[in-house]
Structure 1
Amino acid sequence: MLNFIMLGSLFMVTIAAYFRGIVEGFLFSAMIIFFYVTFIIYNNTIHRNPVELITYIWMVDIPLSAFISGKLSENINLIQSINTRLQKEYRDLITIDRTTGLSNLKGFYIDLDREMSKAKRHKLNLSLMIVKIQYYDELNAILGEKKMEEILKIISNVITLAIRGEDISYKLNKDTLAILMPSTNLQGAEVVKNRIKESISEENLKIKQEDKNVNIDIKVGIVEYKNTIKEAFEFKELAEKELEYDV
C-alpha cells in the first residue's frame, strides 16, 4: 500500500516539476520525502520493521524525477521559444508573396525608400503605379479562394510581361498590386498602364471562351516622384488617390 502511495507521489512530483519548475518540484519532493522518512523511522522504531531497499529507491527516485521533469520542461520551453523567434525572423525576412511570386509589402517599402533616395540624389525620374482589382471580395465569395489565386497569377503574369527588367512589381495586399518604375516619367508609365489594360482585356476574352462567367476589372493609379514627396507612405498614398480618376 505504501509503495502505491509513493508511486502516486512520484507522478505528482513529476507533474508539479514539469508545470511549475525544478525549484517547486524539489520543494514538493522534499516535503514528500520528509513525511515518508518520518513514517519509515516510526515503523522501524515502534514496530521494528526493517528498512527495505525500496525505501532508498523512493528517496532517490522522487527528487531525481523532479529534476528530470523540470529540466525537460525547461528544454521544451526553450525549444518552443527559439522556434517562435525563428518563425518571426523568417517571416520578417520573406519579401516574396507565395501566390504570385511578386515582392510583398515589406519588399515594396524597402525598394521604394531606396529608389526615392536615388531619384532625389541623382535627379532621376521615378514613377509608382498602383493596380487594384475591383470587386475582389464579391469575386472571392462567388469563386472561392483557389480561383482568386488563379486570377491573381494571371494579373501578376500580365504585369510581369508588360514591364521592363528594371521595373519591380509587388503584391501589397489581397487586391492591390504595385509597380515601381525607375527612370520612368508619367508618360512612360501611362504606356505601361495601357499595355496592362489591353492584356487584361485579352485575358477576359480567353476566360469567356472557357465559358467562365468571370470578368477581371482593374483600376490603375500613377504618380511621378517629386522632391516635395517626403516619405514612401506619402508616395504610395498619392498613387492610391489616383485610382479614383481611372474610369
Structure 2
Amino acid sequence: MKSHLKKIIYSILILVILLFTLFFITLLMQKNFFFYDYALYGALLVVLALTLSLGLIPGLLICAIVIFGYGSVVFFQMITGTSQIWTLNYLWFIAYPLTTFFAGQLSENVRMANEQCTKCDKMTDRIVTIDEITGFGNGREFLRDLDGEMARAKRHKIPLTIGVLEIQYFEELITIYGRDNTKKIYKVIAEALNRATRVEDLRFRIDEDMLGLILPHTTIENAQVVKMRLKENLSKLEIEDESSLGRYNIELKVGLLAYRDDILNPMEFKALAVKELEYDV
C-alpha cells in the first residue's frame, strides 16, 4: 500500500512539473499567448482528465488523435508559409505523450491502491467479529457458534434454544432520534439483554435491527422466562439526550425456537427462529 502511495505522489509531482515547465517555456519563448496556445492547453487538460479516468491505453489513443490533428495543422501551416514558432510546435509533440504517459501511470497506481484497499476491507470484515456498539458478536460469529452448539446438543442430547430479537420501527427511530441517539438505545438494550441472560448465554447483533441469542442447556419454557424478563426491563428503558425526547418506548419482537434433530444447519435454524417473530404479538 505504501509503495502505491509513493508512486501516486511521484506521478502527481511529475505531472505538475511538466505542466508548469510547459507553461514557463511558452512564456519565455513568446510574450503573449495566442488562441492556439489556450486551445492546446485546454486539449492537454482534457487528455489528462480522460487518461486519469479511462487509463493509459485509451489515453494514448486519444493523445494520438490530438497529435495527429495538431500535426495536420502544423503541416498545413508549413505548406502555406504561415507556421509560427517552430520550437513550440515541437514542444507540444513532446508534452502530450509525456503528460499522457505519467497520467496513465497515476491512473494505474490509483486503481491498484483501490484494489488493495478493497482487499484489506474484506480481510478486516473476516477478522472483525465484534459489534462495536453492543460489544456482542456479529452475524458471522452467530452462525459459527450456533453450528458448534447444534453439534453439541445433538451429540449429548441436551436442550438448546435460540432467540431472535427484532427492534420494531428501527428506521423510524433513526429518522426521529438520529443515529447517535439510536446507538444509545442499542447500548441500553444490550445492557438489558445482559441483565436478562446468564453468563454462559451467547449474545449477538446479527443485523442492523436484530439481535440474536444462543441459550445452551435451555428449554423453550425457560427461554420464555428470559423473554418476559427482557421485555420487562425494556419497558422501563429511559435515555437522556439533549432533546426534549428523553423517554423511549421500544417495541421489541422476540422469536424463540428450540433445537430439533430435523434442523439441518445454522442458517435453517436462524430462518425458523425469524419466522417465530410473526407469532410474537
- Within 2, Cα distance between the matches of 1:44 and 1:133? 78
Relative to structure 1, is the Cα distance of residues 68 and 112 closer, same or farther in structure 2, using a 3 angstrom cutoff?
Answer: same
Note the residue ranges of structure 1 that are not aligned, 5 or more in a row.
Answer: none
Secondary structure of the residue aligned to 1:119 is helix
Does residue 107 of the first structure (1) align with residue 137 of the second (2)? Answer: no
- Within 1, Cα distance between the matches of 2:228 and 2:64? 80
Number of the residue aligned with 2:216: 182
- Within 1, Cα distance between the matches of 2:134 and 2:158? 29
Deviation at residue 142 of structure 1 after TM alignment = 5.5
Deviation at residue 158 of structure 1 after TM alignment = 1.4
1:87 is matched with which residue: 97, 114, 121? 121
- Within 2, Cα distance between the matches of 1:31 and 1:135? 58
Number of the residue aligned with 1:116: 150
Relative to structure 1, is the Cα distance of residues 35 and 123 closer, same or farther in structure 2, using a 3 angstrom cutoff?
Answer: same
Note the residue ranges of structure 2 that are not aligned, 5 or more in a row.
Answer: 1-33
Does residue 157 of the first structure (1) align with residue 212 of the second (2)? Answer: no
- Within 1, Cα distance between the matches of 2:175 and 2:39? 61
Number of the residue aligned with 1:10: 44
- Within 2, Cα distance between the matches of 1:80 and 1:59? 32
| Identity in percent | 35
Amino acid at match of 2:101: F
Number of the residue aligned with 2:101: 67
Does residue 229 of the first structure (1) align with residue 263 of the second (2)? Answer: yes
- Within 1, Cα distance between the matches of 2:66 and 2:253? 74
Superposition TM-score, scaled by structure 1 size:
0.74
Relative to structure 1, is the Cα distance of residues 116 and 12 closer, same or farther in structure 2, using a 3 angstrom cutoff?
Answer: same
Amino acid at match of 1:121: R
Higher mean displacement: 211-220 or 155-164: 211-220
Cα root mean square deviation, aligned: 3.8
Matched-pair contact (CA < 8 Å) for 1:44–1:51: no
Number of the residue aligned with 2:26: none
Deviation at residue 22 of structure 1 after TM alignment = 2.3
Deviation at residue 63 of structure 1 after TM alignment = 0.9
Amino acid at match of 1:180: I
Does residue 239 of the first structure (1) align with residue 262 of the second (2)? Answer: no
Matched-pair contact (CA < 8 Å) for 1:40–1:51: no
Superposition TM-score, scaled by structure 2 size:
0.67
Relative to structure 1, is the Cα distance of residues 65 and 161 closer, same or farther in structure 2, using a 3 angstrom cutoff?
Answer: same
Amino acid at match of 1:7: Y
Give deviations 1:123-177, integer Å, cap 9, x for gaps.
3332212334456566666555544433322221011123233221122334432
How many equivalent pairs are there? 244
Does residue 172 of the first structure (1) align with residue 206 of the second (2)? Answer: yes
Give deviations 1:205-236, integer Å, cap 9, x for gaps.
x67xx995544444444322121222323323
- Within 2, Cα distance between the matches of 1:8 and 1:119? 72
